[in-house]
A and B are shown apart, each in its own frame.
Chain A
Amino acid sequence: MADEQGPPPAVFSTEGTRSLPQHPALLGGRCEACDYVFFPMQTYGYEKCGSQSLEAKALSGRGRLIASAEVFISANKSFPAPYTIGSIVTDDGAVVRAILDVPPGAQLTPGAVMITGLVPETRPDRGAHDLRFLPATTKEG
């Protein structure tokens, strides 16, 4: 966790999980007390049971789209609109919201399989790469 000012801790790995090695993994966690999976990893305590017995767990970079919305006004000067945000439930059961790598005006259907991919950094302090979700090909899905 970030108690000090500076770049935020990593939330993804450029390496994938064993089941999906070609796509970046999300750096989440698992509660050892109640076995729930969450994202991102933290050590403050798990919100379902209050346990502090939490372990890091790499989460699959694949999931299904719940909803999406194109953004036409950006609150972040370093990341101008338009861009598209998606809500995704991963194969591990974590729910995340992420920037999607889709063209402006893309028509996305809830339930579509989405996978992670890397793009060159587009926002300050995010490292050399940033993570996006994009629609999976038939083979990846």
Chain B
Amino acid sequence: MACLISDLRPVYVVGIGFHPYQYASETTYVTLGLQAVREALADGGVAWDAVESTYVAQSRLGMAIGRPMLRHLGALGKPLAHVENASASGSTAFRHACIEVASGISDVALAVGVDKVPTERLPRARVGLPNLADDAIVPFTHFALLTDEYAHKHGVDPEDIALVAVKNHGNGAKNPNAQRQKARTLEEVLGGKRISGTLTSLQCTPVGEGAAAAIVASEAAIKRLGIDAGRAVRVSASAAGSEKAGNSLNPDTALSAETMSRAMREAQIEPSALDVVEVHDAFTVEELLYAEATGICAPGRFIPMLKEGAWQIGGQCAISPSGGLIAMGHPIGPTGVGQIGEIVRQLRGEAGDRQHKGAKIGLAHMVGVGAVCYVHLLSK
């Protein structure tokens, strides 16, 4: 019979590292990735030769980019796998690193996400199915349509939905790894460049470049390697799924609700226990949809509770304390690993100016085009 990660050996995040997310630059992906990995090794007090397996997440760099980067740490001949799963690439790499340690195949594994902005449009294989307007609809219009639907369904003003961006830009201003580090007023958010529907540029993620790394280890490795167990954060659940038939308009939200529910059942917690949440908020409406999908509030209640301060750092549950995809950024390959890094920082109490006091349980959520969904629960 199939089992859950939590049925196997406990897995802990013991090291996290970043190369700050940033706009496109001349910096090589090797430099980006190495900085994140070296920072994660130093953070965990783990030597490179103790890492037994590595998963490299990327979406826009092409084939087999891992070894040209990792060899500069010492080419030791350890297993290496590459993961591409759209926006969820990093989350997928992290899940498989956890599975490897939980299963006992490895004691220490690394998940690293790295990506850069491509210099030309990436080719995509033809599905072979025509559509009415596939060449006129890009992601921001998909989410502008969902914004319109949500606003009408719940009687919410577009100005209220923009408050999500105000909160997340405020959090990003306190995050040295964020691509956008400037607090914004509601007037600035609403007065920005119009993109589609009521979405303005400051309500949409900036897709840039960067890297994030997380080292996971077993209890045996923590003891054997002398890792500080007091800073280790338990991976209490990992759940994944893909889109089911019958919901072609908003597959991400239904899939997210189901995957989040499975993760919380695995960790045996209720939504009210969540202290910090990082969701795939590439567009403001996504934070409403996915936060409500966790069950922390009823559908349509997110905005009233946002206005009351419930989702701020220090509120009922800190949502997107990193700044989320809207402010921290969304370099694609690193994003899911970076969410893990932020939650680990929060649960350790090491998040500085953006610390959510007393954080014990965090949820990381990513969706990817397709749609796929990955949810991880971490606890301290």
Query: A48's contact among B128, B145, B196, B246, by CB below 8 Å, is which?
Result: B246
Q: How far is the CA of A12 from the CA of B133 in the complex (A)?
A: 12
Question: A48-B246, A75-B138, A85-B141 are known contacts. Are A70 and B196 too (CB-CB below 8 A)?
Answer: yes
State how many angstroms separate the Cβ of A17 from the closest Cβ of chain B: 17
B1 at the interface (CB under 8 A from A): no
- Which residues of B have CB within 8 Å of A98? 132-133
Q: Quick one: closest B residue to A3, CB to CB?
A: B128
Question: A79 to nearest B CB, angstroms?
Answer: 6
Give the tally of cross-chain contacts (CB within 8 A): 93
In the complex, A2 has a CB within 8 A of chain B: yes
Q: Which residues of B are in contact with A by a Cβ distance under 8 Å?
A: 126, 128-133, 135-138, 140-141, 144-149, 152, 193-197, 245-246, 248-249
A66-B249, A70-B196, A72-B196 known; A131 vs B148 contact (CB < 8 Å): no
Q: Are A95 and B135 in contact (CB under 8 A)?
A: no
A99 CA to B131 CA in the complex, in Å?
11
CB contact list, A7-59 vs B, under 8 A: 8-12, 26, 40, 42, 44, 47-48
Contacts of A97 in B (CB 8 A): 131-133, 137, 145
A71:B141 contact, CB within 8 angstroms = yes
Residues of A within 8 A of B132 (CB): 11-12, 26, 96-99, 131
Report the Cα distance A8→B138, complex, angstroms.
19
In addition to A99-B136, A123-B135, 12 A-B residue pairs with Cβ atoms within 8 Å of each other are A9-B130, A11-B130, A40-B129, A48-B245, A68-B197, A69-B148, A74-B136, A83-B136, A87-B149, A95-B249, A99-B132, A123-B136
Decide if the interface of chain B is mainly helix, strand, loop or mixed.
loop
Q: Are A42 and B135 in contact (CB under 8 A)?
A: no
Looking at B126, B128, B130, B148, the one whose CB has the most chain A CB atoms below 10 A away is: B130
A69's contact among B135, B147, B248, by CB below 8 Å, is which? B147
Decide if A42 touches B129 in the complex (CB within 8 Å): yes
Chain A residues within 8 Å of B, Cβ to Cβ: 1-3, 8-12, 26, 40, 42, 44, 47-48, 66-76, 79, 83, 85-87, 95-99, 109-110, 123, 131
Cβ–Cβ contact B126 & A67, under 8 A:
no
Which chain B residues border A26 with CB–CB below 8 Å? 132
**B133 and A85 contacting across the interface, CB-CB below 8 Å:** yes
In the assembly, what is the distance between CA of A96 and CA of B134, in Å?
11
Of B140, B141, B147, most buried by chain A (CB within 10 Å of CB) is B141
Q: How near does chain A come to B246, taking the closest CB pair, in angstroms? A: 6
Looking at B136, B145, B249, the one whose CB has the most chain A CB atoms below 10 A away is B136
Q: How far is the CA of A39 from the CA of B146 in the complex (A)?
A: 20
Q: How far is the CA of A68 from the CA of B146 in the complex (A)?
A: 9
What chain B residues lie within 8 Å of A79 (beta carbons)? Answer: 135-136
A118 to B126, CA, bound (A): 27
Contact partner, A1, options B128, B137, B245, Cβ 8 Å: B128
Beta-carbon contact of B194 and A72 below 8 Å: yes
What are the residues of chain B within 8 A of A86 when measuring CB–CB? 145
B152 contact set on A, CB distance < 8 A = 67, 109-110
CB<8 Å pairs between A and B, sample of 9: A9-B130, A11-B130, A11-B131, A71-B141, A72-B195, A73-B196, A83-B136, A95-B248, A95-B249
A44, A87, A99: the one contacting B145 at CB < 8 Å is A87
Q: A71 contacts which of B130, B136, B147, B246 (Cβ < 8 Å)?
A: B136
Which of chain B's residues have a CB closer than 8 A to the CB of A110? 148-149, 152
Chain B residues with CB below 8 A from A109, complex form:
152
* Given A72-B196, A75-B138, A85-B141: A99 and B130 interface contact (C-beta under 8 Å): no
Q: Smallest distance from the beta carbon of B254 to chain A beta carbons, Å?
A: 14
**Complex: how many Å from CA A79 to CA B141?**
15
- Per the bound structure, the CA–CA distance linking A98 and B137 in Å amounts to 9
Complex-state Cα separation, A95 to B251, whole angstroms? 13
Contact A76–B196 (Cβ < 8 Å): no
Task: Point out the residues of chain A lying under 8 angstroms from B145, CB to CB.
Answer: 66-69, 85-87, 97
Shortest beta-carbon distance from B245 to chain A in Å: 4
Tell me whether A8 and B130 are in contact (CB under 8 A). Answer: yes
Whether the pair B196, A71 counts as a contact (CB closer than 8 A) is yes
Asked if B149 and A85 make an inter-chain contact with CB atoms under 8 angstroms apart, the answer reads no
List of A residues within 8 angstroms of B146 by Cβ: 67
Across the two chains, which residue of chain A brings its CB closest to B198? Answer: A69
Q: Is there contact, CB below 8 Å, between A2 and B248?
A: no
A-B complex: 6 closest residue pairs judged by Cβ atoms? A69-B197, A69-B144, A8-B130, A67-B149, A47-B245, A67-B148
